[in-house]
Amino acid sequence: MSMKVSTRQVDGITILDLSGRITLGEGSVTLRDSIRDVLAKGSKKILLNLGDVSYIDSSGIGELVSAFTSVRNAGGELKLLNLTKKVHDLLQITKLYTVFDIKDDEATAVAAFAA
């Protein structure tokens, strides 16, 4: 199963709801293209909802890191929402858990973006 992305706006924050697998190939490319499109539209506050991401490999982890640096380099903020246990564990193992700002509640996450 490949990855799907749907985009919505909440209080000026762009939320990307991701579902499926973020792996080498289609999933990673879809995520990269989605982030590029959001930045191109001028949105710089991005929340990635990973609650329905069933699987992520090292390529997908790398793509999350690239998304983080792309948004930051554009002067924006990227946060992660609703990590599954598997994704949580992978970010712990790779020491990325402290790099990302990770939330488990959407309202809290939206409120945490700088005004």
Partner 1 sequence: MPDSTASRVSLTLASSLESVDQVERTAEDFAARAGFDEDTVPNIAMAVREAAVNAVLHGNAYDPKKHITVSFEANSDALVIRVADQGAGLDPGTIPDPLAPENILRGSGRGVFLIRAFMDEVHFRQLHPGTELTLIKHRAPAQPAA
Give the binding site for partner 1 (CB under 8 A): 23-25, 57-59, 61-63, 65-66, 68-69, 86, 90, 93-96, 99
Vertex 10 angle, CA 9 and 15, to 5°: 55
Minimum Å distance from CB 77 to partner 1? 15
Nearer to partner 1, 48 or 110 (CB): 48
Q: With respect to partner 1, which residue has the nearer C-beta, 85 or 114?
A: 85
Rounded to a whole number of angstroms, the minimum distance from the CB of residue 93 to partner 1 is: 5
And the tokens for 63?
Answer: 């793509």
Our CB check for partner 1 shows the closer of 65 and 74 to be 65
Kind of pairing between the strands at 4-10 and 13-22: antiparallel
Minimum CB separation from partner 1 for residue 8, in Å? 26
Is the Cβ of residue 42 or residue 85 nearer to partner 1 in the bound state?
Answer: 85
Tell me how far, at minimum, the Cβ of 51 lies from partner 1, in Å: 18
- The closest alpha carbon to 15, from 67, 76, 79, belongs to 79
Helices (H) and strands (E) in the chain, counts: 4, 5
Q: With 0-12 CB in 10 A as exposed, 13-18 as middle and 19+ as buried, what is 54? A: middle
